[in-house]
């Protein structure tokens, strides 16, 4: 299945994403961490490619997103940007690249922008307002991220659904409104009850992009490796696997191993002859 419209489709900007809410077009986003995944996501016609710090877990084999560094983010971002996506490219600010001060937040956002990001995403609500305002004051668009924010896994005591109960829900709603007032162009809502996903989505003028936040969000994002069946941990409840790419790749490599062991690879047709005019002969 290909999407021919992606060949000529207009470049997606933060404005496009903001306007999609009023136009009632659901936003589609996946993560990508390298050139081939960015090409495939873009050819599939997604609106937003997120170079997420989930790369630490799905690509680099870390236990959480905490160890991910800005250099690692920059390295993977550059590969994604080389695919020249029509989708908007958003890069994650990793743990401790922005929490320390507004100055660090601006400087590190700038590093990602200089490497081709078109916006940055950072986790946190009102407590990160100074950082968000400073980044926006440098004309760098910001995608907010609220709810089960993975960089806070130890503070949460595990990957637990957030915003259950009126008090916790109100706190997240206030965070979302504060991020909108500050000027975020959109907010990722992760791991919250679907009723709260709906409440926040209805309260905001900017779009929400959900991951484990129910169907009422203005868009959905999934980690690519979860979606294509190439992640190795137990999938979360909200993950829908659209392919079993892990099985396809393992089977292909197994077939290659068997062919090499049995002397079936390479064939004569896959070999070079001493003279280009004469085909190679079977030994
Ligand atoms: O890092 C990431 O992939 C994310 C998404 C899960 C939203 O932040």
The predicted structure's pLDDT at residue 196: 98
Q: Is 199 a catalytic residue?
A: no
Spot the catalytic one: 180, 190, 244, 269.
Answer: 190
The predicted structure's pLDDT at residue 3: 53
The predicted structure's pLDDT at residue 275: 85
**Model pTM?**
0.95
Q: Which atom of ligand 1 is nearest to the CA of 29?
A: 7
Q: Which burial class, exposed, middle or buried, applies to 25 when counting CB atoms under 10 A from its CB (0-12, 13-18, 19+)?
A: middle
Residues in the ligand 1 pocket, defined by CB under 6 Å: 31, 50, 52-54, 92, 188, 190, 211, 221, 223
Q: Within a 10 A sphere around the Cβ of 167, how many other Cβ atoms? A: 8
CA distances in angstroms from 164 to 61, 173, 194, 198, listed in the order given: 31, 12, 10, 13
Question: Domains, the chain, ranges and CATH?
Answer: 4-243 (3.20.20.60), 245-283 (no CATH)
* CA-closest residue to ligand 1 atom 3: 52
Ligand 1 center–CA 54 separation, angstroms: 6
The predicted structure's pLDDT at residue 271: 95
* CA-closest residue to ligand 1 atom 1: 52
* CA-closest residue to ligand 1 atom 4: 52
272: its two tokens: 């070079």
The predicted structure's pLDDT at residue 16: 98
Q: Within a 10 A sphere around the Cβ of 252, how many other Cβ atoms? A: 10
* CA-closest residue to ligand 1 atom 5: 52
Ligand 1 center–CA 239 separation, angstroms: 13
The predicted structure's pLDDT at residue 278: 74
Q: Which burial class, exposed, middle or buried, applies to 69 when counting CB atoms under 10 A from its CB (0-12, 13-18, 19+)?
A: middle
Per-residue pLDDT tens listing for the chain (283 residues): 445 544 579 999 999 999 999 999 999 999 999 999 999 999 999 999 999 999 999 999 999 999 999 999 999 999 999 999 999 999 999 999 999 999 999 999 999 999 999 999 999 999 999 999 999 999 999 999 999 999 999 999 999 999 999 999 999 999 999 999 999 999 999 999 999 999 999 999 999 999 999 999 999 999 999 999 999 999 999 999 999 999 999 999 999 999 999 999 999 999 999 887 776 676 6
DSSP for 221-256 reads: EE-HHHHTT---SPPPTT------HHHHHHHHHHHH
Q: Which atom of ligand 1 is nearest to the CA of 190?
A: 7
């Amino acid at each position: 299945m290909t999407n021919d419209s992606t060949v000529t489709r207009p470049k997606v900007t933060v404005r496009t994403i903001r306007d999609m809410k009023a136009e009632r077009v659901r936003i589609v986003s996946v993560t990508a961490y390298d050139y081939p995944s960015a090409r495939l996501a873009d050819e599939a016609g997604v609106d937003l490619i997120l170079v997420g710090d989930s790369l630490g877990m799905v690509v680099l084999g870390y236990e959480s997103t905490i160890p991910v560094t800005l250099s690692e983010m920059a390295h993977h971002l550059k590969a994604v940007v080389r695919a020249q996506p029509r989708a908007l490219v958003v890069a994650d600010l990793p743990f401790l690249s922005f929490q320390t001060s507004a100055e660090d937040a601006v400087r590190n956002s700038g590093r990602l922008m200089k490497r081709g990001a078109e916006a940055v995403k950072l986790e946190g609500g009102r407590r990160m307002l100074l950082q968000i305002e400073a980044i926006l004051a440098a004309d760098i668009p910001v995608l907010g991220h609220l709810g089960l924010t993975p960089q806070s896994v130890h503070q949460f005591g595990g990957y637990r659904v957030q915003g259950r109960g009126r008090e916790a829900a109100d706190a997240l709603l206030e965070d979302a409104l504060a991020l909108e007032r500050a000027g975020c162009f959109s907010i990722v809502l992760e791991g919250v009850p679907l009723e709260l996903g709906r409440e926040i989505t209805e309260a905001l003028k900017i779009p929400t992009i959900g991951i484990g936040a129910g169907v009422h969000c203005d868009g959905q994002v999934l980690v690519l490796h979860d979606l294509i069946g190439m992640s190795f941990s137990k999938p979360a409840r909200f993950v829908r696997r659209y392919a079993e790419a892990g099985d396809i790749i393992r089977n292909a490599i197994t077939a290659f191993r068997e062919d090499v062991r049995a002397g079936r690879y390479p064939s004569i047709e896959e070999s070079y002859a001493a003279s280009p005019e004469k085909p190679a002969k079977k030994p």
